[in-house]
Amino acid sequence: MRYSAPEAPTPLPPSCLGTADILKSSLIIFVMGGPGCGKETQCKNMANKYGFCHMGLGQLLWQKAQQGTRQGPKIHDVMLQGLLVPTVRGCHILDMISDHMLSCLDSRGFLIDGFPRELRQAKEFEHIVGQAPSFVIVFDCSMEAMVRRALHRGQVECRASDCKSAICQRLEMHYTLCEPTLAFYQQKNLLRN
pLDDT tens digits, one per residue of 30-56: 999 988 899 989 999 999 999 999 998
pLDDT confidence of residue 18: 56
Domain ranges of the chain: 25-58+92-192
Decide which of 3.30.70.980, 3.40.50.10680, 3.40.50.300, 3.60.70.12 is the CATH code for 25-58+92-192.
3.40.50.300
Residue with the larger pLDDT of the pair 138 and 62:
138
pLDDT confidence of residue 156: 84
Mean pLDDT of the chain: 79
Query: HEC states along the chain?
Result: CCCCCCCCCCCCCHHHCCHHHHHCCCCEEEEECCCCCCHHHHHHHHHHHHCCEEEEHHHHHHHHHHCCCCHHHHHHHHHHCCCCCCCECCECHHHHHHHHHHCCCCCCCEEEECCCCCHHHHHHHHHHHCCCCCEEEECCCCHHHHHHHHHHHHHHHCCCCCCHHHHHHHHHHHHHHHHHHHHHHHHCCCEEC
- Reported as a single tens digit per residue, the pLDDT across 100-123 is 888 888 888 999 998 898 898 899
162, pLDDT greater than 80: no
- Reported as a single tens digit per residue, the pLDDT across 167-180 is 888 888 888 888 99
